[in-house]
Amino acid sequence: MNRLSTSKRTQVIAALVEGVSINAIVRMTGVSKVTILRLLEQIGCACAEYHNRAVCNLKVKRIECDEIWAFCYSKDKNVPADKRGQFGFGDVWTWTGIDADSKLIVSYLIGNRGAGSAHAFMQDLASRISTRIQLTTDGHRVYAQAVEDAFGSDIDYAMLVKIYGMPSDYTESRYSPATCIGCRTGILSGNPDPKHISTSYVERQNLSMRMGMRRFTRLTNGFSKKIENHGHMVALYFMHYNFCRIHKTLRVTPAMEAGLTDHIW
């Protein structure tokens, strides 16, 4: 069986982590679509396995969490009746937790936006941290119970609720997000430092995800057609982000800043 050379594999993976679509990679590299998807599956599984094994026992101080929307197969309103309600068809949410100091992605989970996904995400996050942390999330109500179940009272936890609105004379609202016109905070556990009640870093990370994965781009036909491929790409992206990509502010990779490695992968 023919096998891709290491240089050709590197070329394909580099294109994937830079947000290039599968069909565009086919045109750029001459590698078949089936081969690219098979390589994505192999590298995605390897990245997920390594993250689960290496990103643990972290001594961190501040964690920010958020969830970002995407869709698989089709948008939720266009899912056929025989597939409606099945996971992987329609809305898909990626939950992420980032260390505000090292910018390391500590935990991530692909699921829906319900309480079950929140519970699984927080349990995974708690299992990777060995210190008491200050946690900030948005106002999504399922976080409250999930955080209590995962951390108990051994956490300083606050919610940051942003208030959005549109100017009364604004007409071009179809493709533009609402404007944040204010925010309020709510302390749910412990004694969080008000100066560090923020979700700015994780929200900026959401932008990096949309820029770095074609599957998250809005108004495109590059969305994931299968949830498995979506998961493989997310695992590859976070591995590259944590271990390979130099953070412009830190001048090192997040994994180096967190002490998980001493070199750029």
CATH label of the domain that carries residue 144: 3.30.420.10
Q: Which helix (H) or strand (E) holds 59?
A: none
In a domain, 82, yes or no: yes
In a domain, 32, yes or no: no
In a domain, 263, yes or no: no
Most confident option among 120-129, 158-167, 216-225: 120-129
Residue type (1 letter), 200: S
Q: Given a cut of 80, is residue 156 above it in pLDDT?
A: yes
User: Beta 156-165 vs 179-189: how paired, if at all?
Assistant: antiparallel
Residue 1: band (very low, low, confident or very high) from pLDDT cuts 50, 70, 90: very low
Q: Given a cut of 50, is residue 184 above it in pLDDT?
A: yes
Contact yes or no for 137/160 (Cβ under 8 A) = yes
Separation of alpha carbons 244 and 239, rounded Å: 7
- The pLDDT of residue 185 is 80
Q: How many distinct structural domains can be found in the chain?
A: 1
Separation of alpha carbons 158 and 144, rounded Å: 9
How is residue 84 written in tokens? 């409606």
- The pLDDT of residue 112 is 92
Q: Which residue's structure tokens are 């493709």?
A: 175
Separation of alpha carbons 148 and 108, rounded Å: 18
Query: Containing domain of residue 180, as a range?
Result: 57-257
Residue 120: half-sphere exposure toward Cβ, Cα within 13 Å: 11
High-pLDDT (> 90) share of the chain, %? 68
pTM over 0.85? The answer is yes
Q: At what angle do helices 142-151 and 115-127 cross, to 10 degrees?
A: 30
Phi-psi region of 19 (alpha: psi -120 to 50; beta: other; left: phi over 0): left
In a domain, 28, yes or no: no
In a domain, 79, yes or no: yes
Where is pLDDT greater, at 1 or 141? Answer: 141
- The pLDDT of residue 88 is 87
